[in-house]
Chain A
């Protein structure tokens, strides 16, 4: 990874301020997020790590506008999410955010191409065909565009999902264990694409993972435990991440 292009972020793509998420009440109260304040720099690849129950998925979901905070603020660009209506949140996800989930990424009744252009079709916008072509070529999906998800391998399906996340050139792309269901070769492919999206295409990626190897593709890694950010690491490597995870586990 060439540090020169990524270590000097010029802007913040998303930001959480004192983000708190509480489930339940009284004795059964669980603080999934406990006052997290964090910036996600634009044109950078951030990985969020932590043990199960650390709040890493909750953080991502709240920042991505899929879930709402109990208190605190989340910004995507200049928009403060708690100020947005349900519909405005939906439109924000459609127009400003890209998603790659672990599974159930694609609509089974639509072709690969239709899945890629789905957010824009929903918005009734024409995709930027030059950009779309580049994305499709980069992902090597040109000869798979008219296949249904059931006719694609798991790796291909995830590539289509990445394609969809990139196609509308969103402000930020969120990945929730995007390689969790893939074999290591397909997983590496997907991570390379995400890395490339940031490096070459200038996109912003935030990825939740429990895999140190996956985290090593990122520019920075945030470590969560008990709903708090306990550490961060720039230019991570798999070994260093693994060491840190082991410490956290203790």
Chain B
């Protein structure tokens, strides 16, 4: 029997090859993702190990606030007065205060270097005097000394053409200042750690310019010979109050490494979702290919049964074929995955995230998991066709091969309806009831919805294919009619082929609808809620911002009426880590219409106050005047009184605090953005040029009017969702291979029929055209189903998120038309190979009687 299987494999290698490609793509993407994240992980592991190599103990604030999502813990700086205490501990060879914060160079072109919001961080440091504690190694010049000197990392120096002795501008929390480059440094062996830019000052200068006067971010300690890290940590801890903690270098490294792993976990999961979608689509292709192959070989199967092969043997022979296909595809896929990882890595390098070329880190799981998944999926998808093969009665050996043209059965309608119903129910439960594992429930619901439609597919495929093909028949006559009838003749096959495309198109159109709805909501929110004229953005996200002197200078402008700065800090509110904005209490309320429901935003000018989104307050059971516990990294737990509730969550978020409260509880003051309203009678042009006269000194500041402000928010949403669509194209490509494969197999089956058509005068061009239109009909069928599902998903999600700022469903008709046109083109493309094959058919072989 094995021998027969082997021969079968060889005989169908072309057909199995396309199946293998479907598995291969998904497996390669999965393996590539795993290898890449492992590589990034081990690179960061190495980075932290290098940074902390000479550090035996670190002293830092014990209080930490975590806002999750891989941002790590945020801690207060420590007072510099404890340094002598640490230095005095027995076994300390040397102890130094570290200072780090936001610092961004201004390039020769006058633009800020790097973008900490999207790329690697832009960091300011204090130069460490101790060789062991300092991971930096000068490549040129001298260490920084005095308030006017800075050392630049070699990568930035090379890119911007900075040399020792040059004057450079550095943006920090305390403003834009000129420094002289005293030296150029490397980080260990690399020019820059993962693309970050480094501005290194002497310790006093760093404290002053980074906004940490009298403070250290933490204190690094190196042990005297003979003292272990653990011993030293215990001794240092004993010398300090419990508000500080002394951790060993090893523990710190482990902690930083695990934080990176957490952050990578999101990235990993995000990419793996697309690998899983690709494999899900691949399942349809495998199922379909095996179904068709088995049907075409039913005579061969029957013959095997007739000469004494058992059912299990027939089942086994098909399954072994699947195992071999799956194994070969998965192994090749894993190898291809290494290529995918390299491509992704180069892509990241192009984005400025330079992962040092330390080779790829291949963990056993990155090889084993994709191979096992690829094989299991192939075998599972081939199981049902294999079982059908084993049921072929021996007598079928004597019959003509019949193509399965059935589609409707009561069983199918009932089963499909049940699966679809369950899918939709899960989707609604996940979206509206919001259980703890909502994402998993919604995901499961979506998968079942797709499966349900796929099961029902054969029932609707024939009439739908005829409907879609109607205009084609009108247009193309006989060729069109042949295409239409061929697409409709084998509903199971057509529907499984179309279903694969349906998934990709469904998800793409869902994302497009989500994008359009989010965009419209953002625009209407800005339109309604933002009553100012301009916004000055730092574009530095959480990692930096504008020095407060920008807002102060803007306030002095006669053209500007109201100024409201917005800062952000990490804080734990009622036990949950989050980002809390601090706003100017007077100005913010006038520039942003938050729909205040109770109290007044101007009361935020009182110390220890907070304003809360009214719905959130209701959920928490909070009333105006209640106090809420907020833990700030710098000051620890604080009792804040609720002085206002508001209804517009899109602008306000869940919480707002006033600048007095913010400044009292945070160390570094950096404005994330500054909202402006012009003085009465000042034109937009006058206003803008006045504002730019201030911001010109700060190249990281971007002046936006209301439309540009909305555009910039929309832009962020757009780039994320476009990335998702690009990754979904993977699934679409697999579906196209599926269409090509089905057509090729069908053409093989129709040899006689095609030969007849050619004999009675169908030209090659006409035959190609018929195959092409058949392909287009199948592609459009999948597209129509996909669009319907995408619309449904979009509608459901927008409804479910209506309390989170979604105004309503927006259907991007133009883009959906583009989807249809692309599907049309893809159908044409998928038909190229099968059509050529059909046209090349030898007329004589085709009409020869068997």
Contacts and interface: CB of A to CB of B under 8 A. Distances in A.
A104 B844 contact: no
Contacts of B760: 93-94, 99, 118-119, 122, 164
Contact of B485 (A99, A110, A123, A124): A110
A104 B481 contact: no
Nearest to A94: B761
B489 interface: yes
Contact of A105 (B489, B756, B762, B765): B756
Interface residues of A, number: 30
Contacts of A94: 760-763
Contacts, number: 75
Nearest to A105: B756
A91 interface: yes
A104 B757 CA distance: 10
B489 A90 contact: no
B849 interface: yes
Nearest to A123: B761
A180 B759 CA distance: 19
B567 interface: no
A103 B766 CA distance: 23
Contact of B753 (A107, A119, A180): A107
B843 A101 contact: no
B847 A101 contact: yes
B762 A90 contact: yes
A39 interface: no
B569 to A, nearest CB: 70
Interface string A93-127: 11100010111111111100010001101111000
B406 to A, nearest CB: 13
B753 A108 contact: yes
A99 B757 CA distance: 11
B764 interface: yes
A201 to B, nearest CB: 19
B758 A104 contact: no
B731 interface: no
A93 B752 contact: no
A176 to B, nearest CB: 8
B761 A104 contact: no
A128 interface: no
Given A93-B759, A107-B756, A121 B764 contact: no
Interface in B421-467: none
B513 to A, nearest CB: 37
Nearest to B843: A66
Contact of B764 (A86, A95, A109): A86
A151 interface: no
B471 interface: no
A104 B477 contact: no
B635 interface: no
Contact of B761 (A91, A103, A180): A91
Contacts of B481: 110, 114
Contact of B763 (A61, A87, A104): A87
Contacts of B482: 107, 109-110
Contacts of A67: 844
A61 B761 contact: no
A103 B759 CA distance: 13
B345 to A, nearest CB: 51
Nearest to B755: A104
Contacts of B764: 86-87, 90
B486 interface: yes
Contacts of B847: 66, 101, 104
B849 A122 contact: no
A107 B479 CA distance: 12
A87 B489 CA distance: 29
Contacts of B489: 108-109
Nearest to B847: A101
B761 A122 contact: yes
A103 B753 contact: no
Contacts of A103: 752, 849
B757 A95 contact: no
B486 A109 contact: yes
B761 A119 contact: yes
Contacts of A101: 756, 759, 847, 849
A94 to B, nearest CB: 2
Interface string A59-92: 0010000110000000000000000001100110
A9 B199 CA distance: 105
A124 B479 CA distance: 10
A61 B844 contact: yes
A109 B763 contact: no
A123 B478 CA distance: 9
B478 A121 contact: yes
Contacts of B479: 122
Interface string B836-850: 000000011001010
A67 B758 CA distance: 12
Nearest to B760: A119
Contacts of B849: 101-104, 180
Contacts of A108: 489, 753
B759 A66 contact: yes
Nearest to B751: A104
B759 A99 contact: yes
Contacts of A122: 478-479, 760-763, 766
B488 to A, nearest CB: 8
Contacts of A180: 849
A109 to B, nearest CB: 3
B478 A118 contact: yes
A124 B486 contact: no
Contacts of A87: 763-765
A119 B760 CA distance: 6
Interface string B810-850: 00000000000000000000000000000000011001010
Contact of B758 (A90, A109, A121, A164): A90
Contacts of A123: 761
Given A102-B849, A104-B755, A104-B756, 19 more contacts: A66-B844, A87-B763, A90-B758, A90-B764, A91-B763, A93-B759, A99-B759, A99-B760, A104-B752, A104-B753, A107-B753, A108-B489, A109-B486, A109-B489, A110-B485, A114-B478, A114-B481, A121-B478, A122-B761
27 contacts: A66-B844, A90-B758, A90-B762, A90-B763, A93-B760, A94-B760, A94-B761, A94-B762, A95-B761, A101-B847, A103-B752, A104-B752, A104-B847, A104-B849, A106-B756, A107-B482, A107-B753, A107-B757, A109-B485, A110-B482, A114-B481, A118-B478, A118-B757, A118-B760, A122-B479, A122-B761, A122-B766
